[in-house]
A and B are shown apart, each in its own frame.
Chain A
Amino acid sequence: MTSARPKIDFDAKIPNNVDLASDRKLQRALERWQPNFLDWWGDMGPAVDTKDVYLRTAVDVGREGWAHFDHVPMNEYRWGVFLSEHDPDRKIAFGEHKGEPVWQEVPGEYRADLQRLIVIQGDTEPASVEQQRFLGATAPSLYDMRNLFQVNVEEGRHLWAMVYLLHAYFGRAGREEADQLLARNSGSDESPRILGAFNEETPDWLSFYMFTYFTDRDGKYQLGTLKESGFDPLSRTCEFMLKEEAHHMFVGTTGIDRVVTRTAQLMNEHDSEDVAGAGGIPLDMIQKYINFHYTVSLDLFGNESSTNAANYFTAGLKGRWQEERRKDDHVLTDDAGAVDAVREGRITTTEVPALLALNQDLRSEYMGDCSNGLKRWNRILEKHGIDRRLSLPHVGFNRHVGAFSDAHITPEGRVVSEAEWKAQESRWLPTEVDKTHVRGLMHPVLEPGKIASWIAPPNNGINDKPVDYEYVHFN
């Protein structure tokens, strides 16, 4: 296998490794879009007034180091277009085009579907920046504030990645869609983001960690399936985005680590589960936030049985998680799969053609991945000598999309009546009282090295810097 390493042009107005300089038309189009993006960032990006932030900037796509760290003013962040390395021998790995060389241009036949996939993915990237716009004002430490902004600028870069594809490969319709990505806004009455979950505000930092752990992880799985795409530019774009996405999930994982650690400390100090009065977040509440964010993210995978997912697979547009490592024919026309179903008040499964079961397949992969976090957090509890354990609720709990959406299922997986479910809802999902308590803890801590009462400090700083490093400078 040969591998071509695309040259990075970091001095260009738009940093890139796609040889933008030689494509004047595309360059002009993107340069026209750039000021709109900056306006959007100014209007909808982080609301905290900072001088500069210690950020990592993508400068390469290679294995031996791809990022550069420095203090940069956020609006001067070098958002660029980076595709992972090009493999000239790459073949389509699945569907009816299996074995054919990957496409370097959009096949006309799949223009509409590919454009739609990219628009839906692209719409989520700026959405999360908008959702998190006001969080910086209540950051529990400069370290956390920096992490938030790192996530934000990289979501911005992911938007660039999708916009590049729309501009480069989808003609005028693509350019119009690129404009719409900035015109829709999270939570807007006028023109909301496409997916419901991305119109919810992220009101507090516990929600932010949960979002980066659970909802960004959905993003990871979606990107993972697009990385398999027969449309090579999309595949290479997503492969590189996944590298950045890993940090977002790190923020979520370690964020929840630290909340659990602090809660455990407070429990031991006060010899009580009720650490709310001591300025902590009780385990019950953490469990409720897990229940909410996990189930909302499960909904993002769509219906258990999906025609669209099947069509995308057959066409070679969107594969399965780790498609090439799977040991089957990668065509799936003769296979069957079981999808969740609720029949006569019982949770069961229905057999459908395997092609239609791809959403459930991806969701199962995701669920397995999510459970790793629970193991971590429970180890922390164990280390502190606490018997209580956190857990993931049953897949059917609190679902609004798919087979479980009409049923009422407890976190333990019992089908109950609507009345019974409603009666216990406040034990399972965050109540107004819980949310008020968590919001009440959100006070900014802006002194380097200091940390809010409800969360433990991180074990390490960023890029080998100390924890008390001045990650953010203010005006």
Chain B
Amino acid sequence: MLDKGRTTTVTVLDEAPATAQVPAPQEPQVDFDTDPSRYRHWRYEVEGETAWVYLDVAEDGGLVPGYELKLNSYDLGVDIELYDLTQRLRFSHPEVRSVVLTSGKDSNFCAGANIRMLAQSSHSWKVNFCKFTNETRNGIEDMTAHSGQTWVAALNGTAAGGGYEMALACETILLVNDRSSAVALPEVPLLGVLPGTGGLTRVTDKRHVRKDRADIFATKSEGFQGPKAVEWKLVDETVSRKQWDATVRERAAEAAASSSRPTGATGIALPPLQREVTEDAIRYPNVRCEIDRDARTATITVLGPEAGTVPESLERIHALGADFWPLAMTRELDDLILRLRTNELEIGTWLVKTRGSIEGALAFERVIAEHSASDWLVNEIRHYFKRTLKRLDVTSRSLIALIEPGSCFAGALLELALACDRQYMLEGTFEDADEEQDPAQLVLTASNFGAFPMGNGLTRLQSRFWGDDETLAALEPGTRLTGAQAEEAGLVTDAPDDIDYEDEIRILLEERASLSPDALTGMEANHRFVGPETMETRIFGRLTAWQNWIFIRPNASGAEGALRRYGTGRKADFDRKRV
């Protein structure tokens, strides 16, 4: 029976009816909660050591009205499910050693981000969408690298734009050789924007495609079919339909063979988060957030573990599962970052605090250090916290750490402060506090020297003291510092005492709130990532920055720009000046 119309083409990104003339609907408050029983766009089946992940997008399942998700194209809602799916594979399926990413449709693999969604979206929505999808692609690479779950892209049809970028995040790419299916990055020729979910970067930096060939590929809307794609290293292998299933299984088995995952392990459940949301607050058991809309600040407080609650054995950690404090806290913090980033655009400054027992935090720290090399779950938790810190690193908000009595910035939690743009620590105590206080302390542990690298491959301490090896060398694990000592060591920006502290912070925040949000975003992103470039920094720095510039240029998003004109049947009218 017939399955395609005559106008179906390889390179088209999306074929939904035009609604570009209709004003964009109100962008909704986004919720990141989901679970496999609620997925509309994905399904996965675990078969032995391999998870088979099928992209099967529901056309009418868009997160925002105004577009249909044709040809397996995606929007933020589709990617939220993908993120959830990756987390479940990590935590609930320790038996999985390789992951096959493929399409549940007969006609194609994936046409990439939905163009009408992009065309109707506000700038901030596009940017947040791209950031989140980039983080999920990076997370997939992190799974291959550190979780013993290697991803294999089985492109059973054409993968265009974001579809191919999804494949690029996998370790191995197979493309069916049926003389029709192709891989393509048609963004430049068709839409006047970039393949901004790592596409440009991974083609050269990961797959080592020569720059002249990369140039041809990224300007050739129809892309390349199997044999040529192999020759140019765009895919690893092209396989006939007859050999397809067997070969994909073989590659999945090979990928599984090198995995570090244990056999016979039992996963843990990831139950829904407990979250209380009010007008100006979001509260979880281990993380609190209070929003001051007049000051445009959010105060995020991470609650440390109670002293004496550290589990005595690995068995107990597994039994606690999602209730194990480091995991519970990380899930909540991750969710909070995503919600604030997406839903609270005007809250431009985040104040980061901790509250709890330093000894408690250190006790947990020791358990993690002891088992992270040998236990899959503890390893997962460490990498999850690493990725959550990376989310902070690329968050376009001013981040200010406030280190006060009763805080527990020790080891891993100290990374929260080091991720911030500035750190203020109270020297001594608040004189008029209700209860007696001990002065705040910072505690350096081994965690600060390599457990949680940034996207640039450096620790936050190495980034902080880039080019100042002497100061860095003076820091040692196990050191505890008060305000004055921390200031002396260069670990905090300033350590005012009780007399000046509140005024300093108030003036700082008022001044910050008066500055241009765009300039601040650019400035902070520059300061946070010093030193060497990596694929990750190139994606978030170069690619994303250029993409975001292109997004606001009239050539893309003006009324006559390529993105807005796409799907109207009219051609873009470019301003031809190169700038």
Report A's interface with B, CB cutoff 8 A: 96, 112, 115-116, 120, 180, 183-184, 189-192, 194-197, 200, 218, 222, 296, 299-303, 305-311, 313-315, 332-333, 350, 352-353, 355-356, 358-359, 400-402
Contact = CB atoms under 8 A, between A and B. Distances in A.
Contact of B179 (A112, A184, A308, A402): A184
B2 A112 contact: no
Contacts of B3: 196, 400
A355 B570 contact: yes
Contacts of A184: 178-180
B571 A305 contact: no
Given A184-B178, A303-B15, A400-B2, 5 more contacts: A191-B179, A195-B2, A299-B5, A307-B567, A356-B567
Contacts, number: 124
A327 to B, nearest CB: 20
B6 interface: yes
Contacts of A303: 5, 7, 15, 17
B569 A313 contact: yes
A194 B569 contact: no
Contact of A353 (B6, B10, B18): B18
15 contacts: A112-B220, A116-B11, A183-B179, A184-B179, A191-B178, A303-B5, A307-B15, A307-B18, A311-B571, A353-B21, A355-B570, A356-B567, A358-B569, A359-B5, A401-B4
B12 interface: yes
A358 B18 CA distance: 13
Contacts of B569: 307, 309-311, 313-314, 332, 353, 355-356, 358
Nearest to A123: B180
Nearest to B9: A116
Most B CB atoms within 10 A — which of A112, A115, A296, A313? A112
A402 B5 contact: yes
Interface residues of B, number: 35
Nearest to B12: A308
Given A196-B3, A301-B6, A307 B566 contact: yes
B240 interface: yes
10 pairs of A and B residues whose beta carbons are closest in the complex: A310-B569, A302-B5, A355-B569, A302-B7, A191-B179, A305-B17, A196-B3, A401-B5, A196-B2, A307-B567
Contacts of B576: none
A197 B569 CA distance: 27
A436 B5 CA distance: 29
B242 interface: yes
Contacts of B467: none
Contacts of B240: 190-191
Given A190-B240, A305-B18, A333-B570, A112 B5 contact: no
Contacts of B180: 184, 191-192, 194
A195 B4 contact: yes
A359 B17 CA distance: 12
Given A112-B11, A315-B571, A355-B568, A301 B5 contact: yes
A190 B178 contact: yes
A296 B2 CA distance: 7
Contact of A352 (B11, B17, B178, B570): B17
Nearest to B221: A112
Given A194-B180, A196-B2, A302 B242 contact: no
Contact of B8 (A302, A311, A313, A355): A302
B249 interface: no
B242 A189 contact: yes
Contacts of A305: 17-18
Contacts of B2: 195-197, 200, 296, 299-300, 400-401
A190 B15 contact: no
Contact of A116 (B177, B222, B568): B222
A307 B571 contact: no
B499 interface: no
Interface in B179-210: 179-180, 189
A234 to B, nearest CB: 16
A305 B16 CA distance: 8
Contacts of B12: 307-308
A216 B15 CA distance: 26
Contacts of A196: 1-4
Contacts of A400: 1-3
A200 B2 CA distance: 8
B241 interface: yes
Contacts of A309: 7, 569
Most A CB atoms within 10 A — which of B3, B242, B570? B570
Contacts of B9: 116, 120, 308
Nearest to A115: B222
A308 B570 contact: no
B223 to A, nearest CB: 10
A284 to B, nearest CB: 21
A103 B9 CA distance: 23
Contacts of A183: 179
Contact of A308 (B4, B7, B17, B21): B7
A183 to B, nearest CB: 5
Nearest to A358: B569
Interface string B538-579: 000000000000000000000000000011111100000000
Nearest to B5: A302
Nearest to B242: A190
A191 B5 contact: no
A163 B9 CA distance: 19
Contact of B6 (A189, A302, A356): A302
A350 B21 CA distance: 14
B5 A314 contact: no
A67 to B, nearest CB: 29
Contact of A112 (B222, B242, B571): B222
Contacts of A350: 17
Contacts of A352: 17-18
B19 to A, nearest CB: 9
Nearest to A305: B17
B215 to A, nearest CB: 15
A300 B241 contact: no
A300 B571 contact: no
Contacts of A96: 570-571
B308 to A, nearest CB: 60
A124 to B, nearest CB: 8
B248 to A, nearest CB: 16
Contact of B178 (A112, A192, A332): A192
B568 A306 contact: no
Contacts of B14: 307
Most B CB atoms within 10 A — which of A307, A332, A358, A401? A307
A338 to B, nearest CB: 12
B62 to A, nearest CB: 16
A358 B7 CA distance: 11
Contacts of B11: 112, 116
A180 B225 CA distance: 11
Interface in B14-57: 14-15, 17-18, 21
Contacts of A192: 178, 180
B6 A300 contact: yes
A333 B4 CA distance: 28
B5 A300 contact: yes
A389 to B, nearest CB: 27
A353 B241 contact: no
A219 B133 CA distance: 43
Given A112-B221, A299-B2, A302-B5, A353 B568 contact: yes
Contacts of A191: 177-180, 240-241
A400 B2 CA distance: 7
Contacts of A314: 569-571
A176 to B, nearest CB: 8
